[in-house]
Structure 1
């Protein structure tokens, strides 16, 4: 059984135990949440930011452009504990600081796919995501981009994608499930450490 197979507790407390899976031998150990939190440097004032590509129920994510780096749609600041994030035309501005990013994005018929975090102020790549392959079939693939980075001043940033697929369709950047709630095709969770 993998950690992902266990039930999720919606309101954990510091004395609850976390199940830890060793990456080398698949052994399991437990640790109290409070001990994990103790690994965060003291004096750190963590701030949480969540950015989304969110559409109304039944609305697909749009078609992709193949062969070059393109901005992924980021149209919603769902949470901003810094009160400093701005968003315009898929470009978001973060204040100076050190961040952890965990981003996931859906692709349909993308073939070779990759994400990156691009500093468009300085035209530099900050992070590269996993290289992935989503075959020409009837299922979505999820791409991942994660890592720690520091910016010394406010920067314009984009989550960008590149695909090799040529089967251009409206759900290339996310296929609607039409459950009566918003369709989410990209989630970018950021923790600001300083």
Structure 2
């Protein structure tokens, strides 16, 4: 059975002590199939995954966007919570303690300049600022402020996705509907590390 990794890969520590057999995480069997050995029950660098979003009925706009202050984005649908670590209520996301990587996307329509942030309500602090974007009032084009990063939550924390614009747009400033199926506007994904 040929090995993919060199023979001198150190053996991992197990609950019973050091392995005496050479560690072979990847190998190819006689039939040519790739074999993967999982030690300790961990696969990858994430143990939990959360996916929440603002989902509305078909042809429903994302809502009005008023300039001059941070506006909290709607979060009303939980699509995944593999570890039971998330709760959503009143447009807030509660996550259990841990180290998280995240990807958040917030659309805006005809509001000129706009930018979103991930805000920790529990600690009263902005965690990360999103990209600076523009969606011109004269254009029929949406753009998205994207928030990407990594943070440590020392305790269970309430988070909000906040957004600010330089112009007001009633009705659909938070997103214009596609009128194809359910409308999806703000999308947030969180990966909790081991």
TM-score, normalised to structure 2, is 0.75
Equivalent residues in 2 for 1:164-183 (5 A)? 164-166=166-168, 168-179=169-180, 181-183=181-183
CA distance in 1, matches of 2:58, 2:43: 43
Structure 1 stretches lacking a partner, 5+ long: 1-13, 15-33, 35-40
Give deviations 1:112-171, integer Å, cap 9, x for gaps: 1111010111211111111112211111111111100010010110011011113x2211
Task: Provide, for residues 97-118 of structure 1, a one-character-per-residue CA deviation record: whole Å limited to 9, x for no partner.
Answer: 0111111111101211111010
Indicate the structure (1 or 2) with the bigger Cα radius of gyration: 2
Q: Distance in 1 between matches of 2:148 and 2:44?
A: 24
1:190 deviation in Å?
A: 1.0
- Corresponding residue of 1:65: 66
| Mapping 1:32-43, distance limit 5 Å | none
Report the TM-score, using the length of structure 1 for normalisation.
Answer: 0.75
Question: 1-side partners of 2:188 and 2:71: how far apart?
Answer: 17
CA distance in structure 2 between the partners assigned to 1:177 and 1:44 by the alignment: 36
Quick one: distance in 1 between partners of 2:48 and 2:71?
A: 28
Kept in 1, the 8 Å contact 2:66–2:170? The answer is no
Task: Give the aligned partner of residue 135 of structure 2.
Answer: 134
Aligned to 2:56: 55
RMSD over aligned Cα, in angstroms? 2.0
Greater percentage in helix:
1
Deviation at 1:65? Answer: 1.9
Equivalence for 2:187: 187
Q: How many angstroms does 1:46 deviate by?
A: 2.3
- Return structure 1 stretches of 4+ with deviation > 2 angstroms: 41-46
C-alpha change, 1:42 and 1:80, in structure 2 (3 Å) is closer
